[in-house]
Amino acid sequence: MGKAAVLEAPKQKKLLFSVGLSWLFDAMDVGIISFIVAALAVEWKLGPEQIGMLTAINSIGMAVGAAVAGSLADRYGRRSILLWTLLIFSISSGLSALATSFVVLCVLRFTAGFGLGGELPVASTLVSESMPVNERGRAVVLLESFWAAGWIVAALIAYFIIPLYGWRMAFAIGAVPALYALYLRRTVQDSPRYTAQRSGRLSFRDRVAAAWSTKYRRSTITLWVLWFTVVFSYYGMFLWLPTVMMLKGFGLVKSFQYVLIMTIAQLPGYFTAAYFIEKFGRKFVLVSYLLLTAVSAIWFGNAETVGMLIASGICLSFFNLGAWGGMYAYTPELYPTSVRSTGVGLAAAFGRIGGVIGPFLVGMLVAREIPIHIIFMIFFVAIVIGALTVLFFGKETKGIDPDLEPANK
């Protein structure tokens, strides 16, 4: 394959775009939540701890979904589990529009989170396995770039729909992906690597044991620390962005407008990471983008003027989401096909625990009137820990086929 294989091969390009749209819908749903909680806080008179609980419950569902779907995808195929998780989250999101109480909404957000958390690791595994070795990193980062597009759609919905039609309409739009699942059912196939290993598949216990065997233990620990710190900081910071902007003195609509500007910066973050990941390697992208995310977090937490808030928010989006792209590209490359989806799902599930703690912790600290710059210092420390873990313990996977190369000794 040529160096531009991912762009030249029509089948690979179609797969990337088809799965990417499902990724966009995932991001749209998560993004809408961050805007809806700001509106719900006003309409339902929710306190900071309740807002933190709602976002945390969504992440609990994502943790369970990642572990369950990751395991099922190694047994029943990437394609079928991708479709089922897409249906689960989109139907649950649509039903959220009918929620009549905080408790009902929490239940529906758990179910939606289950579908969301399950779909993401399965989708990245499918794309990674379907691309040539010298293009898979770039392809998965480009897949992740659809996340930014989904957040931009969510921000546009929040800016144009919520003020006029309310938060229920925003949730109703989240049911649209259910129709898209019917399209995916006809167009997406399982990866050739997975199809070739239909015989002799391992049990769930054997797959988990393999991920924690001597050969893969260091990689598994590194991934779990990386995922926890990245997800903890991302959901702690980004789900609270509109609310933090309001705490800094801006109105609801103005906050949505500023967050939309910050969200657009995610796209060049992904595209630069996609370029660097095949040129300089996975560890370079992860370590450099995470450290710059940490610096941006400190900057944002201490910003007071509109200009500083927007500039620091743009940098935060640019580097944090570039790091996410690198993480999704890196994770499937550390395991062989027989246990890949299970390994990715378990790492993502452990990371989602951080996604539970992050927003809930912010809610508790805001309720106790802890200054925003102190809260963002916590995220600074977490991100630095993740970066240093990859730097000192991570294995470079650029150009390596995990089905052929020996793993960590």
Q: Tell me the average pLDDT across 108-137.
A: 91
Q: How many CA atoms lie within 13 A of 129 on its CB side?
A: 30
**If pLDDT is split at 50, 70 and 90, which confidence band does 4 have?**
very low
| pLDDT at 5 exceeding the cut of 50 | no
**If pLDDT is split at 50, 70 and 90, which confidence band does 26 have?**
confident
**If pLDDT is split at 50, 70 and 90, which confidence band does 261 have?**
confident
**If pLDDT is split at 50, 70 and 90, which confidence band does 253 have?**
low
- Tell me how far CA of residue 309 lies from CA of 14, 246, 292, 305, in angstroms: 38, 12, 16, 6
Distance between CA atoms of 233 and 226, rounded to whole angstroms?
Answer: 11
What integer pLDDT is reported at residue 12 of this predicted model? 84
**What letter does residue 397 receive in the DSSP assignment?**
-
Q: Is 79 helix (H, G, I), strand (E, B) or coil?
A: helix
Cβ neighbours of 43 (radius 10 Å)? 10
- pLDDT greater at residue 125 or residue 403: 125
| pLDDT at 214 exceeding the cut of 90 | yes
**If pLDDT is split at 50, 70 and 90, which confidence band does 335 have?**
very high
pTM of the model: 0.84
**If pLDDT is split at 50, 70 and 90, which confidence band does 175 have?**
confident
> Does domain 12-187+201-393 fall into CATH 3.40.1380.10?
no
**What letter does residue 199 receive in the DSSP assignment?**
S
Average pLDDT of every residue of the chain: 87
Q: 316: Cβ–Cβ under 8 A, 6 or more apart, which residues?
A: 237, 262, 293, 296, 297, 299, 300
Q: Quick one: what percent of the chain has pLDDT higher than 90?
A: 48
Q: Which of 172-181, 189-198, 264-273, 325-334 has the lowest mean pLDDT?
A: 189-198
Among candidate residues 142, 153, 124, the one with its CA nearest the CA of residue 271:
142
**If pLDDT is split at 50, 70 and 90, which confidence band does 281 have?**
very high
N residues, the chain: 409
Burial of 279 (0-12, 13-18, 19+ CB in 10 A): exposed
- pLDDT greater at residue 211 or residue 52: 211
Cβ neighbours of 360 (radius 10 Å)? 23
Q: How far from each other are the two terminal CA atoms of the chain, in whole angstroms?
A: 31
Say which residue the tokens 């390009």 belong to: 13
What integer pLDDT is reported at residue 233 of this predicted model? 93
Q: Which pLDDT tens digit goes with each residue over 265-279?
A: 888 999 999 999 999
> Are the C-beta atoms of residues 241 and 262 closer than 8 Å to each other?
yes
Handedness of CA 162, 168, 174, 178 (dihedral sign): negative
- Residue 247 has phi, psi (to 5 degrees) of -65, -25
- pLDDT greater at residue 10 or residue 108: 108
Distance between CA atoms of 69 and 290, rounded to whole angstroms?
Answer: 28
